[in-house]
Structure 1
Amino acid sequence: MTDIRSAWSALGGDPALVSRVTTVEREGALRARLPVRELARACAGACALAAAELAARRAGRAEVPAVRVDDGAVATAFVSERHLLVDGRAPINFAPLSRFWRTADGWVRTHANYPHHRERLLAVLGVAEGTDAASSVESVLAERSALGVEEAVYAAGGLAVALRTPEEWAAHEQAAAVAARPLVERERPDEARARVLPPVGGTPLLPADGLRVLDLTRVIAGPVATRTLALLGADVLRVDAPHLPELADQHADTGFGKRSAALDLAGDPAAFEELLAEADVVVTGYRPGALDRFGLSPEALTERRPGLVVAQLSAWGGYGPWRGRRGFDSLVQVATGIAAVEGSAQRPGALPAQALDHGTGYLLAGAVLRALTEQSYEGGSRVVRLALARTAAWLTEGSGPGASEPDAVRGSGGPGCVTGAPYDGPEPWLGERDSGIGRLRYALPPAAFAGGPVDWARPPGPWGTDAARWA
């Protein structure tokens, strides 16, 4: 079931604490055939409950603060990248070559938002830069098989995924590997001393206050997780390679509360080691194995920094035949049968939000918060792992026989649930503020606990302009 109870269980939380959550259900939020609204509510709610639990622990309170999850806030936040305005300008979320294409035997979806991915795609297809690229790509793909394109583009380091039905995905080796794993993988690799977290108080109550988070993530899911930790008081420093700048609008959307530095891990490993020596949490979002050559595997990190919390995010999981593949939410939807369910095998569709990204991001933040709470009692380093494909399996597992019904007709209907007015737009859940990159309109955080923060302490700044050191 894609509900808060199952999400909280995946995080290892005390089942009794679910009673502290109240949900406000709104018809029309995140309409879909699959239970997207329930998944979004569950992920945001479990994250907020993990924050409330840690807040109670650090504030010395016997009772965990009440949590409130409003479908309106959740639906708005799950498409935050679409609501962002910078000086009144709407963001660019997908490049022209990031879309569905017909092939000789079906459909394929490509992802070419980043220049290096675009270059690899065009090279494989034999399309020259400077031409009418979209028209040329369309002509080439119309004569090729979807699976052939998928294999050729991935072999060249690009991104293209063939459309599969749920049945076709279920028969795939990667699907079996994904299904065999828990939604949230949680490990305790050592017996490091229990973490002593200083008390917190004041208004707002910030459960992550004083914690230092190294953010080695890109795109949406990982940055959503670290954006959430920043909301809760953590000092979050995002570190990127100087030669791989983040897309400006993407950075603006997920950069709230953080600082952003450019650092060459290969050229200046000592600078990273200085950061690691004082870090409490490291969050990585690159494909499994990509950071190992820099000594940044979870095992290597916890060996050098006992007591660390390492959170690892990937598209397909660190197992199975696709463990080394790059991936994004839109591509995972295509491979796992979601695009076929939301449309059809003849005309693929998409979820109303990049819900795998956003949902996994909130679950990842919740897993970090729960790890910190557990450490305060038990000690030990912690490693948590999540994958977009595993979140996709959870979404489709929870669809049941009602998967073909609009999401709005399904609700939890349980204790702690109230019915609100239908969702008719994002305005009540949007904020505005000035920043170093312009006047911003943005989505506010999707879930809250009593006494907790309702907005970020700082807006995003320009990418890569902060010093690679702790504040």
Structure 2
Amino acid sequence: MNRIAEQAIRQLWQHSQLDSAWLDQLCLQGQGPVLPSSFALDAAAQACLAASGLSAAAFWHARGGERQTVSVNLHHAVAEFRSEHYLRVDGAQPSDPWDKIAGIYRCGDGRWLRIHTNFPHHCQGVLQLLQCEYDKAAVTAALQKWTAFDFEDAAAARGLVATALRSFAEWDAHPQGQEVAAQAVFSLTRLDHAEPLALTDADRPLGGVRVLDLTRIIAGPVGGRVLAAHGADVLHITSPKLPTIPTLDMDMGRGKRNAQLDLTRESDRDALRRLLADAHVFIQGYRPGGLAELGFSPNDAARIRPGIVYVSLSAYGNQGPWAGRRGFDSLTQTASGFNLAEAEAAGSETPRAFPAQALDHIAGYLAALGATAALRHQRQQGGSWHVEVSLAQAAHWLRGLGRVEGAIDLPIPTLEDVRPWLEETDSGFGRLLAVRHAAELSLTPARWPLPAMPLGSHAASWAV
């Protein structure tokens, strides 16, 4: 399994246009497989975490720090890949955020369809479209009047999230699948010729780097959490009008301060512009084009803060017929062929999801890798930079790592199995037991000195 991870890291490192000599500073530990999947989830976790950690080490060296090694244990990486599942608050597991009608259904044409209703407005929209009650049996009956593809399109037209189950062959033939396949694992684009931004010496790789994190749920918050682990001042900005999932805020909020701004108000947009004018990294996971409508597109951000590293996260990328569609990890798995492939590997007639939100976590680590690589290029060459990552690109990259034999029936690691990788800290929610960061830097250990706090706990200002 290490061979797969090593090749994956080399590919990511080359794509990031970083010095290949740094690969000699990497130590991969542990053997797999660990997770019940026919895909190389273990290697993907180890590779993404290793590449993001190594890029932080390389950036610190460019700032005048010493050269150091980076170690990643496979089992620890897998634990972090599922970090939200191992979170405990005051010794108890938080309530399951999964909505009672979310999941996979058969439609009237016999095809499978997955719907996502964990946000109230998505749930109400699905029920209105189906004209049925808030009950799984009622949803099952109502979907008998629909074909899977028709409902998928009708839901997308209303800004809802639902996808029909596809095979790999069907996704490869789909215009969006073809568009994703033609793209790199993530994009790294120079926007202008801004001067290099000055950063003072620091005792941690990203010390003094100010990051605006305008993301929710898993992928974007994972990216911000990685940057915080290496010393960045991460300010998580949320809207009081948008729904969230408290369990994820607890796990993903470690190491960050957080504030709330309502970007539909001009005064709050002004506040964000002031923050942006002193930022180094801007990570956003709004629907494609959403922030551009409010004056915070990549080019807008580069005008406000020449030299900014702007990171965009989306479900399906910025090109193709689905570029504007909303989506989540589970939906992207369904649309792009993984649920069917996993079911076939398990000998099941029912679609089977990954034993982790793998696409979210991959995309989050790639966002952190892209951000630190862009910071390195900004320091060397100047310019403002745009990093683009999508769940669909993460899925295509994962698929390219190949299949794993004999792992589909493995048990999912329990809390006791991952106990060596857990840490206990105080927080604004109570005493947290959670997975610590898996990329171990020999001279600047990753850590989250700031506790997770409820949303809106801090002022919308920089710490330093």
Q: TM-score, normalised by structure 1?
A: 0.91
Supply the distance in 1 between the matched residues of 2:18 and 2:214 (Cα, whole angstroms): 26
| Helix, strand or coil at the partner of 1:278 | coil
Supply the distance in 1 between the matched residues of 2:223 and 2:209 (Cα, whole angstroms): 15
1:39 offset after TM fit, Å?
1.2
| Helix, strand or coil at the partner of 1:260 | strand
Supply the distance in 1 between the matched residues of 2:387 and 2:433 (Cα, whole angstroms): 33
Residue identity opposite 1:445 in structure 2? H
Alignment of 1:77-156 (within 5 A): 77-91=80-94, 92-104=96-108, 105-128=110-133, 131=134, 133-156=135-158
Structure 1: any 5+ residue segments left out of the alignment? 410-422
- CA RMSD, 1 decimal: 1.9
Contact 1:37 1:407 in 2 (8 A): no
Supply the distance in 2 between the matched residues of 1:60 and 1:403 (Cα, whole angstroms): 39
- The equivalent residue for 1:302 is 302
Q: 2:17 aligns with which of 12, 17, 29?
A: 12
Quick one: structure 1 residues 138 and 144, their matched pair in 2 at CA, closer, same or farther if it must change by over 3 Å?
same
1:300 offset after TM fit, Å?
1.3
- The equivalent residue for 2:364 is 361
1:406 paired with 2:407, answer yes
The count of aligned residue pairs is 448
- The equivalent residue for 1:419 is none
- The equivalent residue for 2:159 is 157
Supply the distance in 2 between the matched residues of 1:304 and 1:454 (Cα, whole angstroms): 31
Residue identity opposite 1:433 in structure 2? T
Contact 1:187 1:384 in 2 (8 A): yes
Q: For 1:345-398, what per-residue CA distance to the aligned partner results, in whole angstroms no more than 9, with x for missing partners?
A: 831111121111101101110111111112222111111111110110111122
Residue identity opposite 1:447 in structure 2? A
Q: For 1:17-57, what per-residue CA distance to the aligned partner results, in whole angstroms no more than 9, with x for missing partners?
A: 11211111233422310111111111111001101101212
- The equivalent residue for 2:40 is 35
| Helix, strand or coil at the partner of 1:161 | strand
Residue identity opposite 2:456 in structure 1? G
Alignment of 1:17-28 (within 5 A): 17-28=22-33
- The equivalent residue for 1:186 is 188
Q: TM-score, normalised by structure 2?
A: 0.93
Residue identity opposite 2:41 in structure 1? V
| Helix, strand or coil at the partner of 2:63 | helix
Quick one: structure 1 residues 169 and 279, their matched pair in 2 at CA, closer, same or farther if it must change by over 3 Å?
same
Contact 2:33 2:407 in 1 (8 A): no
1:458 offset after TM fit, Å?
1.3
* Greater relative contact order structure (CA < 8 Å, 6+ sep): 1
- The equivalent residue for 1:470 is 462
Alignment of 1:265-284 (within 5 A): 265-267=263-265, 268=267, 269-284=269-284
Contact 2:84 2:251 in 1 (8 A): yes
| Helix, strand or coil at the partner of 2:163 | strand
Contact 1:82 1:93 in 2 (8 A): no
Quick one: structure 1 residues 282 and 385, their matched pair in 2 at CA, closer, same or farther if it must change by over 3 Å?
same
1:87 offset after TM fit, Å?
2.0
Contact 1:27 1:408 in 2 (8 A): no
Q: 1:446 aligns with which of 438, 447, 451?
A: 438
Residue identity opposite 1:5 in structure 2? R
Alignment of 1:249-398 (within 5 A): 249-267=247-265, 268=267, 269-344=269-344, 346-398=349-401
Greater shift, 162-171 or 190-199, is seen at 190-199
Q: For 1:161-211, what per-residue CA distance to the aligned partner results, in whole angstroms no more than 9, with x for missing partners?
A: 10000000000000111111111201111111122221123xxxx111111
Contact 1:332 1:388 in 2 (8 A): yes
Greater shift, 92-101 or 316-325, is seen at 92-101
Contact 1:245 1:463 in 2 (8 A): no
1:403 offset after TM fit, Å?
4.9
1:262 offset after TM fit, Å?
1.2
* Identity over aligned pairs, percent: 39
Structure 2: any 5+ residue segments left out of the alignment? none
Contact 2:52 2:368 in 1 (8 A): yes
Residue identity opposite 1:329 in structure 2? D
Supply the distance in 1 between the matched residues of 2:453 and 2:104 (Cα, whole angstroms): 33
Contact 2:9 2:50 in 1 (8 A): yes
Residue identity opposite 2:254 in structure 1? F
| Helix, strand or coil at the partner of 1:311 | strand
Residue identity opposite 2:306 in structure 1? P
Supply the distance in 1 between the matched residues of 2:132 and 2:239 (Cα, whole angstroms): 28
1:271 offset after TM fit, Å?
1.1
Supply the distance in 2 between the matched residues of 1:28 and 1:394 (Cα, whole angstroms): 18
Supply the distance in 2 between the matched residues of 1:32 and 1:371 (Cα, whole angstroms): 33
Supply the distance in 2 between the matched residues of 1:117 and 1:191 (Cα, whole angstroms): 42
1:98 offset after TM fit, Å?
2.0
- The equivalent residue for 2:229 is 231
Greater shift, 44-53 or 365-374, is seen at 365-374
